């Protein structure tokens, strides 16, 4: 009976894995098909006439390195910004006592529930007023601080025993040294996993950069991809799949490098 139950679960999990993997396999497979084949037999996994033409064409049509660099640069700035501000704010909320701390924290956290569409236009107006339209910094600026980060880092800091910080205070260690030498090294797995999530979110970001970036030379990957699936960009489907495949490579590499930390912190959250 138990075995039956177990196999049942395995089948369900397998089905979920397939559902999750299918679009990725579909994307990679179609990126190696000719235009004709892709329309003719779109759902066929193994390409009939495998070709790397889509990739070489892409290389000729767009400056791939430039695109990857633009996206990487943006995502890195946003990620670093969110981590730095998040850590500093969380540290203050955790270890400093000041008037109205609870309220300030509540206000910060409540910003998580404000939908992006609500602040999109005010943000756009501000960025345009300070002449940052069409710049990477204009895209990054409103995203340098994120209440999600504050909340997650604060939760992670809860795992550090108070006595540790008190003992440092007794030894006359300043707050910035405590943060740099003790808190950050202890929180490293949390910082990396939160950072990875920030990075991937920013990497995939589409709507906000579309509003700010007009010049093709400053486009990020999602914006460039849009050119191949929009009405004006034509209908070269396998080309779009090739660009999509390129787009997931960098986050994949980052994940592979840091997977030890990411999995660790997911499975150990809640442990001391």
Partner 1 sequence: MGNKAALELNKVTKKYKRTDVISKMNLKVRNGEFLVLLGPSGCGKSTTLRMMAGLEKPSDGQILIDGKDAQKMTSYERNIAMVFQDYALYPNMTVYQNLEYALKVHKVRKNEREHRLKKIIATLDLAAYRDRLPGQLSGGQKQRVALGRGMAKKSRIFLLDEPLSNIDVQLREKARDEIQNLHEKNQQTIVYVTHDQLEAMALGDRIAIINEGKIQMIDTPDNIYNHPANLFVAKFVGTPQINILEIAYRKEQIYLKDKLLPLSVECLKKAALSDGKLHLGIRPEHVSVKREKRNATGLELPVKVEQVIDYGRYQQLLLNIGEEQNIKAITTNNEFKNGDLAYASFSEERILFFEYTSGINIES
Q: Check if the beta carbon of residue 196 is closer than 8 Å to that of residue 262.
A: yes
DSSP conformation letters of 55-104: HHHHHHHS-HHHHHHHHHHHHHHHHHHHHHHHHHHHHHHHH---TTHHHH
Among 167, 235, 259, 268, which residue interacts with partner 1 (rule: CB under 8 A)?
167
According to CB under 8 A, which one of 182, 197, 229, 248 is a site residue for partner 1?
Answer: 182
Q: Measured from the CB atom, is 96 or 113 closer to partner 1?
A: 96
186 sits near partner 1 (criterion: CB under 8 A): yes
Round to the nearest angstrom and report the end-to-end CA distance of the chain: 37
**Neighbouring-strand partners of residue 198:** none
According to the binding rule CB under 8 A, does residue 181 interact with partner 1?
Answer: yes
Tokens 């892409």, located at residue:
58
Interface residue with partner 1, options 170, 215, 231, 232 (CB under 8 A)? 170
Beta strands in the chain (DSSP E): none
Looking at the Cβ atoms of 172 and 270, the one nearer to partner 1 is 172
Task: Considering the complex, state which of residue 171 and residue 215 has its C-beta at the smaller distance from partner 1.
Answer: 171
164 binds partner 1 (CB under 8 A): yes
Options 171, 215, 256, 267; binder of partner 1; rule CB under 8 A: 171
**Are the CB atoms for 158 and 187 separated by under 8 Å?**
no
Q: Tokens representing 27?
A: 């994307």
The verdict on 172 binding partner 1 (CB under 8 A) reads yes
Q: Return the structure tokens found at 112.
A: 């998580």
Residues between 96 and 155 with contacts to partner 1, criterion CB under 8 A: none
- Give contact residues for partner 1 (rule: CB under 8 A): 161, 163-164, 166-167, 169-173, 177, 181-182, 185-186
């Amino acid at each position: 009976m138990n075995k039956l139950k177990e196999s049942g679960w395995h089948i369900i999990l397998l089905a979920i894995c397939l559902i999750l993997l299918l679009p990725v396999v579909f994307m990679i497979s179609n990126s190696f098909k000719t235009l004709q084949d892709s329309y003719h037999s779109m759902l066929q996994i193994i390409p009939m006439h495998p070709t790397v033409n889509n990739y070489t064409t892409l290389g000729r049509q767009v400056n791939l390195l430039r695109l990857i660099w633009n996206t990487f640069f943006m995502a890195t700035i946003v990620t670093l910004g969110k981590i730095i501000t998040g850590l500093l704010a969380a540290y203050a909320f955790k270890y400093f006592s000041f008037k109205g701390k609870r309220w300030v924290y509540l206000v910060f956290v409540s910003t998580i529930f404000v939908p992006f569409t609500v602040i999109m236009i005010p943000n756009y107006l501000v960025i345009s007023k300070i002449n940052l339209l069409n710049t990477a910094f204009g895209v990054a600026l409103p995203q340098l601080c994120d209440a999600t980060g504050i909340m997650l880092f604060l939760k992670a800091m809860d795992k550090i025993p108070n006595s540790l910080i008190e003992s440092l205070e007794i030894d006359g260690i300043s707050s910035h040294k405590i943060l740099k030498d003790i808190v950050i090294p202890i929180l490293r797995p949390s910082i990396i996993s939160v950072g990875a999530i920030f990075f991937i979110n920013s990497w995939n970001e589409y709507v906000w950069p579309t509003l700010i970036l007009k010049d093709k030379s400053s486009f990020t990957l999602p914006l460039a991809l849009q050119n191949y699936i929009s009405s004006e960009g034509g209908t070269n489907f396998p080309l779009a799949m090739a660009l999509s495949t390129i787009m997931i490579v960098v986050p994949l590499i980052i994940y592979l490098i840091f997977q030890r930390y990411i999995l660790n912190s997911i499975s150990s959250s809640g442990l001391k």
